[in-house]
Structures are given as C-alpha cells and as structure tokens.
C-alpha cells in the first residue's frame, strides 16, 4: 500500500494492499464485482479492527453528495459518504431536524448506523433506529435495497459492514426545534442513587461525566427544551463553560449556560466546525438494561482504583429500546457506560478485561466500534436474532467478500 492509513485514534494501522475512493455507485459496484476481501472505511472513528483488511479498503467520502428531502418532508435520503455535521446543516436550512445526534457531528452517517452508534435520551433510540431504507451493493456487486417493513430490514440496518457497501440511506426527520444546554457540577452518588430516574429523565438528552476518582459525578450535561435555573439535585450550575474531560479547554464544546440555539448546535457535545481532539485516546462502551443502571455504576465503583489511572472520562447515558437485530439496545431500554481511555493499549486492555468481568452479571452489550475483549461466543448469545443475521450475511455475501478476521471471529467462521 502506497499510503499509510490509520483510524481516527491512530491505534489501528490498516493493512490494506490498496485504498480506493470511488466517485460513483457504479464504480463501487465494479470494485465489489472484482472480488474481495473488501472493507469500508467511514470516518475512521472505530477503535478496533472491524474495518481492517489485507485486501481493499474503500472510502465513500468521494461519492456525489445526495441530500434529498421527501415530498412529505418526513424523511431525507443521503449518500453513503455524508457526515452528520453536513447533513444537520442542510436539514436546518430547510426547517427540518434529526431526532438525535451523537456527541461528535464529525462521524459519517453510514458508519454510525452500521455500528449502532447513539446519542442520549430516555425516549431517544440509537441513531440507526431513524433509518427507513438501506441501499447497498452486495457481495456479488449487485444493488439491494431494504425498506422498513421488508423481511430482514431489521437485520440490514446494523450490518457491521458484513452485508455490503452502503451507498445510500433514508432517515426519518422532524420539524426543526431549539434546545438549551445546561451543565451542573458535583452531583453526589448519594443524590444520584436517590433520584436516578428523575436525573436521567430531566432533559431531552442527559449525560453524566465522571473520572472515577470518586463515586460522585464531576458534571452533568442537560440538553433541554425548557429553561431551568438554580441548584439541581444538590449539584450547582457550572460557573464557566465545560469540556467533557475535566481540565480540558472548552473552546470546542457546544454552547452552554441555557442559551437557546438550533438543535444541531446543542445535541452534540462538540461544535461541527472544530475537531474535538487529536484522537489520542481509546474508547470502550457497554450497554446494560435500564433497570441495572445503578448496579452498573456500583460495579465500576468497586474497581475504580484500577479504572481511574488509565481513564480520561466516563460518560453515562440512556437509550430507548429498538427492534434492530444487532443493536445493543435490541428490545431493552438501556444505560450506556462509555469510557474514554488514555492512548496506551498495553495499559488499557487489562483494565477493559477487569471492567467486563465486573459488569458480566449485568449482561453488558458492547458498542461494536470500541475496544473490548469479550469472547465472540458470549456476544452471539446476547442477541436473540444473531443466527438470523448470520443467515442474512451468507445470503448477501456468500463468497465472503466483506469478511475479515474480526467478522470471522464474530460470526464464528
């Protein structure tokens, strides 16, 4: 390979023999028809080898932009290379909105959907649940479309790149709206324990941030439709703008202090026009049943002396249940514990293993794009429709065009 390609964090150097950047859907089909192995690289924001290959790495960033609002203004069709920040600005200019966004607006829509990436909110499902149509090039180089209501649609949305190259997606949209963002400091574990449901349900989106140097929460980010003021469950309004990581400059963080603004400038934690960091970090994330949220926090607290030295910050959020086969939120409302680690794989991996052991009694489902050590057999057993997904993968990709060692281990091949 003539160029060195890494993921966003730099912890993965891709081993592809060639990197291709097709500029049309026809060119994508030609690449696939020529044979694999092929993997697709979105915005590179995964932290494991799910996108790696020793064959061809395909970037869809060069596809012609497609931003098409439906006649009834309830959906938008986009190409496989568009990023959320670009889509959000387009929708806002047309008086529309996405129901939710991830903390980073810089990630690609297709990449986020394929890994069931999410935002936050008790009534908000993960981002993939907004998809009503998936258009892809399957393992034979032929187009295939799955629409909401079709057989296998729920399996095709969170496809892990194992079903085909996603060339277009259709997403649900809603009328544009404004949000306010508030940050509160120093929420104690005692108050959180007494009012967990109220805390997590007190905004359109709620995020708890802790560095696990204690069992308390450093700060809480509330994204709300309505204004608020004064103390909040014993926590106090932040006197200045905050960054999610304690001590980091907040220049790139989205507006705080309750100032109302467009939805897409408040739902993410970071401004779309700025790079939030240089990527020098690793990430892990685990989803447990909503009812087990406090138990999960207690499990982490029990090993926090192991966790804190290699942690930058931990974020705790809620996500509503969905019906997508490989969504970590499949058929259960969830609490997600997200860990942003220091950029030291050797130091972090033993802590990840210890964390997984501590959470194991709560049946944690891992975020597909993060660092984890959970045995694939355990993962397969957590998803009631996993065998159906394997069947779908065999049908759409019988020759293994989109397989790699990561996919092989997961599918048991």
List the CATH number of the domain containing 161: 3.30.465.10
Residue 1 in any domain: the answer is no
Give the residue from 46, 101, 43, 44 showing the smallest Cα distance to 317.
101
- What is the rounded CA–CA span in Å between residue 41 and residue 110? 10
Cis peptide before 37 (omega within 30 of 0): yes
Residue with tokens 């991996």: 349
Q: Of 121, 152, 176, which marks where a domain is finished?
A: 176
Flag the least confident range among 19-23, 248-252, 283-287: 248-252
Residue 147 has pLDDT above 80, yes or no: yes
pLDDT digits (tens, 9 = 90+) for 153-193: 999 999 999 999 999 999 999 999 999 999 999 999 999 99
Residue 398 in any domain: the answer is no
Summarize the chain as % helix, strand, coil (round to 5): 25, 25, 45
Based on the fold, state whether residues 264 and 147 are members of the same structural domain: no
Based on the fold, state whether residues 116 and 163 are members of the same structural domain: yes
- Which tokens belong to 26? 């026809």
Give the pLDDT of residue 141.
97
Helix axes 345-359, 293-301, angle to 10 degrees: 130
Based on the fold, state whether residues 229 and 145 are members of the same structural domain: no
Based on the fold, state whether residues 162 and 183 are members of the same structural domain: no
pLDDT digits (tens, 9 = 90+) for 228-247: 999 999 999 999 999 998 88
End-to-end CA distance of the chain: 27
φ/ψ (deg, to 5) at 285 = -155, 140
List the CATH number of the domain containing 286: 3.30.70.2520
Based on the fold, state whether residues 222 and 308 are members of the same structural domain: yes
Residue 11 in any domain: the answer is no
Report the percentage of the chain scoring pLDDT > 70: 98
Q: Of 115, 146, 176, which marks where a domain is finished?
A: 176
Residue 405 in any domain: the answer is no
- What is the rounded CA–CA span in Å between residue 122 and residue 129? 14
Residue 31 in any domain: the answer is no
Note down the domain range covering 102. 67-176
Q: ∠323-328-330 over CA atoms, to 5°?
A: 20
Give the pLDDT of residue 1.
47
Residue 44 in any domain: the answer is no
Give the contacts of 143 (CB within 8 A, at least 6 positions apart): 25, 29, 135, 136, 137, 167
Based on the fold, state whether residues 172 and 211 are members of the same structural domain: no
Give the pLDDT of residue 3.
66
- What is the rounded CA–CA span in Å between residue 308 and residue 301? 10
- Structural contact between residues 129 and 368, judged by C-beta atoms closer than 8 angstroms: no
Based on the fold, state whether residues 198 and 276 are members of the same structural domain: yes
- Which tokens belong to 151? 């057989």
Residue 249, classified by CB atoms within 10 Å of its CB into exposed (0-12), middle (13-18) or buried (19+), is: exposed
- What is the rounded CA–CA span in Å between residue 4 and residue 371? 22
Based on the fold, state whether residues 216 and 140 are members of the same structural domain: no
Tallying the residues shown for the chain, one arrives at: 413
- Structural contact between residues 323 and 331, judged by C-beta atoms closer than 8 angstroms: yes
Residue 299 has pLDDT above 60, yes or no: yes
pLDDT digits (tens, 9 = 90+) for 341-360: 999 999 999 999 999 999 99
* Secondary structure (3-state) at 221: strand
Give the pLDDT of residue 169.
98
Report the sign of the C-alpha dihedral through residues 130, 136, 139, 143, in that order.
Answer: positive
pLDDT digits (tens, 9 = 90+) for 43-92: 888 899 999 999 999 999 999 999 999 999 999 999 999 999 999 999 99
Residue 90 in any domain: the answer is yes
Beta bridge partners of 186: none
Based on the fold, state whether residues 237 and 131 are members of the same structural domain: no
Give the pLDDT of residue 184.
97
pLDDT digits (tens, 9 = 90+) for 258-289: 999 999 999 999 988 776 555 689 999 999 99
Residue 47 in any domain: the answer is no
- Which tokens belong to 131? 């998809």
- What is the rounded average pLDDT of the residues 30-38? 96
Residue 2 has pLDDT above 80, yes or no: no
- What is the rounded CA–CA span in Å between residue 189 and residue 191? 6
Based on the fold, state whether residues 151 and 192 are members of the same structural domain: no
Contacts made by residues 243-246, CB under 8 angstroms, sequence distance 24+: 244/103, 244/207, 244/209, 244/269, 244/313, 244/315, 244/340, 245/312, 245/313, 245/340, 246/209, 246/211, 246/218, 246/313
Number of domains making up the chain: 2
Based on the fold, state whether residues 280 and 247 are members of the same structural domain: yes
pTM of the shown model? 0.96
Based on the fold, state whether residues 127 and 248 are members of the same structural domain: no
Q: Of 116, 146, 176, which marks where a domain is finished?
A: 176
Give the residue from 142, 234, 248 showing the smallest Cα distance to 191.
234
Reported as half-sphere exposure (CB side, CA atoms, 13 A), residue 413 has a value of: 17
């Amino acid at each position: 390979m003539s160029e060195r390609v890494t993921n966003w964090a730099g912890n993965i150097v891709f081993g592809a023999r060639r990197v291709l950047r097709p500029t049309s859907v026809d060119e994508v089909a030609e690449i696939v028809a020529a044979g694999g192995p092929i993997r697709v690289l979105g915005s590179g924001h995964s932290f494991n080898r799910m996108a790696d290959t020793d064959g061809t790495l395909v970037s869809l960033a060069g596809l012609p932009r497609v931003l098409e609002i439906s006649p009834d203004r309830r959906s938008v069709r986009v190409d496989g290379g568009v990023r959320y920040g670009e889509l959000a600005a387009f929708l806002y200019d047309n008086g529309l909105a996405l129901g939710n966004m991830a903390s980073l607006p810089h990630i690609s829509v297709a990449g986020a959907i394929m890994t069931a990436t999410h935002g936050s909110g008790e009534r908000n499902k993960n981002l993939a649940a907004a998809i009503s149509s998936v258009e892809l090039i399957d393992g034979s180089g032929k187009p295939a479309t799955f629409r909401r209501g079709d057989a296998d649609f729920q399996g095709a949305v969170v496809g892990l790149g194992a079903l085909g190259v996603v060339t277009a997606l259709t997403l649900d949209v809603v009328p544009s709206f404004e949000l306010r963002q508030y940050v509160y400091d120093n929420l104690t574990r005692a108050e959180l324990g007494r009012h967990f449901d109220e805390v997590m349900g007190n905004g359109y989106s709620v995020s708890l941030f802790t560095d696990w140097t204690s069992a308390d929460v450093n700060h809480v980010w509330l994204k709300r439709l309505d204004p608020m003021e004064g103390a909040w469950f014993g926590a106090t309004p932040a006197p200045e703008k905050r960054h999610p990581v304690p001590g980091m400059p907040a220049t790139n963080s989205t507006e705080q202090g309750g100032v109302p603004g467009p939805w897409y400038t408040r739902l993410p934690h970071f401004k779309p026009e700025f790079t939030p960091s240089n990527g020098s970090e690793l990430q892990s994330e685990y989803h447990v049943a909503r009812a087990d949220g406090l138990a999960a926090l207690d499990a982490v607290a029990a090993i926090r002396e192991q966790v804190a030295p290699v942690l930058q910050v931990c974020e705790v959020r809620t996500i509503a249940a969905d019906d997508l086969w490989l969504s970590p939120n499949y058929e259960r409302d969830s609490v997600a514990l997200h860990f942003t680690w220091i950029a030291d794989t050797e130091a972090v991996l033993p802590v990840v293993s210890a964390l997984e052991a501590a959470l194991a009694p709560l049946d944690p489902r891992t975020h597909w794009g993060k660092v984890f050590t959970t045995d694939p057999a355990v993962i397969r057993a957590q998803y009631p429709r996993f065998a159906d997904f394997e069947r779908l993968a065999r049908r759409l990709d019988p020759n293994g065009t989109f397989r790699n060692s990561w996919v092989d281990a997961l599918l048991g091949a």
